[in-house]
Amino acid sequence: MTVGIASAMMMLTTSCQQTQRENPLLVESQLPFGASDFSKIKVTDYLPAFEAAIEQQRANIQQIVECTDSATFANTILPFEDSGRLLDRVSRVFFAIVEADKTPEIGEIEKQVQPMITELENEISFNRPLFERIRQVYEREYETLQGEDRKLLEEIYKDFVRKGALLAEDKMERMKQINRRISDLQQQWGDVLPDATNNAVVWVDTKEELAGLSEADIAQCAKDAESRGGKAPYAIVIVNTTQQAPLASLDNRDLRRRVFEASVHRADGTGAFNTFPIACEIAKLRAEQAELMGYDNYASYSLEKTMAKTPENVYAFLKNLISQYTPKAEAETKAIEDFARQTEGPDFQLQPYDRFYYSAKMKKQLLNISDDEVKPYFNIDSVLINGVFYAANRAYGLTFKQLDDFPTYHPDMKAFEVIDKDGSPLALFYCDYFRRPTKRGGAWMDGFQKQSRQWQQQPIIFNVCNSAKAPDGQPSLLTWDEVTTMFHEFGHALHGILSACQYNRLSGTSVARDFVEMPSQFNESFASIPEIFDHYALHCETGEPMPADLKERMLASINFQTAYALGENLAATCLDLAWHMLPSTDIPTAEQAAAFETEALRQIGLLNTQIPPRYSTSYFNHVFGGGYAAGYYSYLWTEVLAVNIADVFAQRGALEPQTGQDFRDKVLSRGNTGDLMQMFTDFTGMAQPDASGLLKARGL
C-alpha cells in the first residue's frame, strides 16, 4: 500500500470515537481473479478511492518525468503503461455502476469524479516533459522493437499526438478547455437521457386498451406500472431504439400512436428533457477539436485511426448499400400498406406506428408465425446456459460454472467462472440482463478487469441488457431480437475473455470501432445454427424442444421484411456522419437541430417517414453519450466482416473445434496487437472483405 493510498483511507465516525476502515476499492481483493467484493463496497468509498488513485497516477507520472536517465522503453513506456493501474480498476467498477444502476447518490458522485478525471487526462496529455521522453523513445527504438512492445510504443506515441501534444501553447490551452466542456456535457447527457426515457413511459388505464398483447406482456405492463409509481394500472416502458416491441401487437391504433410519439419525442421537447442543446454543443466542440488538429471536420479526424480511414470511403460503402436498399424498402412499404388496406379500406394511410403491427399480421398470414407463438421457447435462462454458453463450449471448448452467492452490484446479476478446454480457470463473466429505472437503455459489454500478462491479471467481463423481468413465479421470455442481442453481446465478451496479450492497453476489445463489432455480430450467427438452436429453444413449461414445423417457420421468418432493419441503421449512420462532417461554424443551433436532421436524411436519400432512424439525434446515445461519434457506420462495416467469417465457419464446420481454435488464435486472442485487416486475412484467406454477402445475409 503506497503513502498516497493510505492518506486517502476513509474514516468512519462512531458516536464516541473514530475507527479506521480499509477502502475495499484500494486493497487487494481476496475473491477469485481479484474480483471486486461488492458486498463490502459502500457508495461513500468511491470518491476517496478516486482521489487516492488519481494521486497515485500523478506521482507515477512525475517519477517518469524526473528520471534523469536517457528515455528508454523500459524506464518510460512501461512505467507509463503501469502508471494508472489503480485508477483503471476503480474507474471500471464505478462507471459500470453509473451505466447499470445509477442511483441519485451515484449520480452525485459522478458529478464530482468526472471533472477530476478530465483534469488528470489533460495534465497527462499535455505534459510536455512526459511527451518529450515518449517521443525520444519513439524516434530511437521504434524500428528495433518487436511485437507487442513495438505496438504499445506506437499506440502511446500516436495517442499523445492525436490528443494535441504537438500543438502550440494557445491551441493546447483551448484543447484543454474543450475536453473539460465535452466531459461536462456528456455527463449532462447521461443524466438527462435516462430521465427523459423514463419520463416518456405511456400510462394505460384499462386492460382493454392493451388488446393484442399476450397475458404475459400485460402482466409485465402491470409490473412496470407498479415499479414506476403506479400513475395508472398499466405502463408501456420506452426502450432506447425508435421502434417499440409492443407496436407489433397493440390493436388500439391511438395507443400505438402514443407509444411511437413518446419514443420519438422523448428528448426533443422543451424543458428538462430536451437534449438538443447538449448534442449541438458537443458537435460544435468536436468540430473545433478537429480544426485545432488541422482537419476539415471531426469525421476526418476520427476516421483516420479506423479501418475505413476516410469519410469518403465510408460514404462510398454506404451509398452502394443505399442504392440497393431503396427499391426493396419501397416495395416492402407498399406491400404492408396494400395488406393493411385489405381490412382497413382503400384509403388507409400506413403510418410509422402501424408498420410493425400490419407486418406482424402479414407474417402470420403468409408464414403462419407470430412472436407470441415462439416466445415460450425463448426462456432467458435456457438461452444463456443452453444457447450462448453451449455455443462457446462447442466452438472454443469453454465451460461455465455459476458462482452462487458471489457478490455482485445488483441481485439480478449472475456470476460465472469461465474454464478453458484444458481445465484451467480463464476468466470471470457476469451478466445483468433485466431492465430497471436506474439502468440506461441498450445492451453492452465491458470489463471490471482486462486481461494483461504484464499486470498478471485475467479478464473479468460483464454483459448488460434491458430485457423485461417477468413477475415472480413466471419465466422471463425473450423475443428473437433479444435472443440475438444476448449472442451479440457475448461475442464482445468472448473478445475480452479469450484475450491473450501482454499489455492492458492492447488487450481484448481495444481495437478500432469498425473492427470491434465484428466478433459480436459474428457470434449472432450461432443463434440460428440448428444444433445450437435445438439445444436452447425449449418450452418454458414442458422443456420440450420447439417442434420441427414451428422451428422451420420461425427460422424462415427471420429475414421477413428486413428492409426496415437495414434502413433504420443506414439512417442513423448517416445522421451521425452528417453531424460530424460539418465545420464548427456550420453546426446548427438547438432550435435548428430537428430541421437539420430532416435535411440530412433527405440529401442522402433516406428521408422516409415509414423507416425513421434507429436513433434520432436527441436520443442517439452511441454518438453523443458514448464513443461512436462518426463511427456508427461500424455496425454495417463490421457486419460485412462478420458475414465473411461466418461463411468460413460454415465451409469448415461451424462447430468444428479446429475452426473455433483458429479464430481464437488469429483474431479473438490478439486484441490490438497487430494490423486488423491482416488478422481478418489470416483467418479468412481473403485479401479484402467481400460486401456482396451483406444484403444476401439479410434476405435482401
CA dist., res. 95 & res. 519, Å (int): 24
Across 333-350, average pLDDT: 97
**Is the confidence at residue 213, as pLDDT, over 70?**
yes
Helix (H) or strand (E) holding 312: helix 311-344
Q: What is the DSSP letter of 247?
A: G
CA dist., res. 244 & res. 78, Å (int): 49
CA dist., res. 459 & res. 469, Å (int): 28
**What pLDDT is stored for residue 471 in this prediction?**
86
CA dist., res. 349 & res. 527, Å (int): 36
**Is the confidence at residue 15, as pLDDT, over 50?**
no
CA dist., res. 315 & res. 303, Å (int): 12
Percent pLDDT > 90 in the chain is 91
What residues contact 294, with CB distance under 8 A and at least 6 apart? none
Kindly tell me the burial class for residue 138, based on how many C-beta atoms sit within 10 Å of its own C-beta (0-12, 13-18, 19 or more).
Answer: buried
Q: Taking CA 164 as the corner, what is the angle to CA 452 and CA 129, rounded to the nearest 5 degrees?
A: 75
Across 236-259, average pLDDT: 96
Higher pLDDT pick, 364 / 4: 364
The catalytic residue positions are 489
Residue 293 dihedral angles phi and psi, to the nearest 5°: -90, 0
pLDDT in tens, 625-642: 989 999 999 999 999 999
The full DSSP string for 614-659 is SS-GGG-HHHHTSS-TTTTTHHHHHHHHHHHHHHHHHHH-TT-HHH
CA dist., res. 495 & res. 72, Å (int): 31
Beta bridge partners of 401: 417
Beta bridge partners of 460: 428, 449
What residues contact 226, with CB distance under 8 A and at least 6 apart? none
Kindly tell me the burial class for residue 544, based on how many C-beta atoms sit within 10 Å of its own C-beta (0-12, 13-18, 19 or more).
Answer: exposed
Quickly state the pLDDT bin for 20 (edges 50, 70, 90): low
For residue 435, the Cα-to-chain-centroid distance in whole angstroms is 15
Q: Read off the C-alpha cell for 175.
A: 484543447
Closest listed residue to residue 480, CA positions, set 370, 611, 589 = 370
Residues of the chain with CATH 1.10.1370.40: 3-166, 376-558+636-697
CA dist., res. 611 & res. 571, Å (int): 8
Neighbours of 316 (CB within 10 A): 11
**Is the confidence at residue 3, as pLDDT, over 70?**
no
pLDDT in tens, 451-486: 999 999 999 999 999 999 998 889 999 999 999 999
Which of the listed CATH numbers 3.40.190.290, 3.40.50.170, 1.10.1740.10, 1.10.1370.40 matches domain 376-558+636-697?
1.10.1370.40
Quickly state the pLDDT bin for 673 (edges 50, 70, 90): very high
Q: Are strands 425-434 and 460-467 parallel, antiparallel or unpaired?
A: parallel
Separate counts of helices (H) and strands (E) for the chain: 28, 9
Quickly state the pLDDT bin for 13 (edges 50, 70, 90): very low
Closest listed residue to residue 612, CA positions, set 624, 592, 622, 598 = 598
pLDDT in tens, 279-300: 999 999 999 999 999 999 999 9
**What pLDDT is stored for residue 16 in this prediction?**
33
**Is the confidence at residue 361, as pLDDT, over 80?**
yes
Give the architecture-level CATH label for domain 3-166: Orthogonal Bundle (1.10)
What SS3 state is found at 345?
A: coil
**What pLDDT is stored for residue 696 in this prediction?**
85
pLDDT in tens, 594-605: 999 999 999 999
665 and 546 in contact (C-beta within 8 Å)?
Answer: no
**What pLDDT is stored for residue 18 in this prediction?**
35
CA dist., res. 96 & res. 36, Å (int): 12
Average model confidence (pLDDT) for the chain?
94
The full DSSP string for 414-431 is EEEEEE-TTS-EEEEEEE
pLDDT in tens, 515-539: 999 999 999 999 999 999 999 999 9
What is the chain's length? 700
CA dist., res. 644 & res. 693, Å (int): 7
CA dist., res. 333 & res. 610, Å (int): 7
The full DSSP string for 469-524 is PPPTTS--B--HHHHHHHHHHHHHHHHHHT---S-GGGSTT-S-HHHHHHHHHHHG
Across 91-114, average pLDDT: 96
Quickly state the pLDDT bin for 398 (edges 50, 70, 90): very high
CA dist., res. 641 & res. 633, Å (int): 13
CA dist., res. 300 & res. 581, Å (int): 8
Higher pLDDT pick, 641 / 11: 641
Domain 273-367+562-632 has CATH 1.10.1370.10: yes
Quickly state the pLDDT bin for 21 (edges 50, 70, 90): confident
Residues of the chain with CATH 1.10.1370.10: 273-367+562-632
**What pLDDT is stored for residue 592 in this prediction?**
97
Q: What is the DSSP letter of 211?
A: B
Quickly state the pLDDT bin for 127 (edges 50, 70, 90): very high
Closest listed residue to residue 371, CA positions, set 535, 554, 528, 568 = 554
Percent pLDDT > 70 in the chain is 97
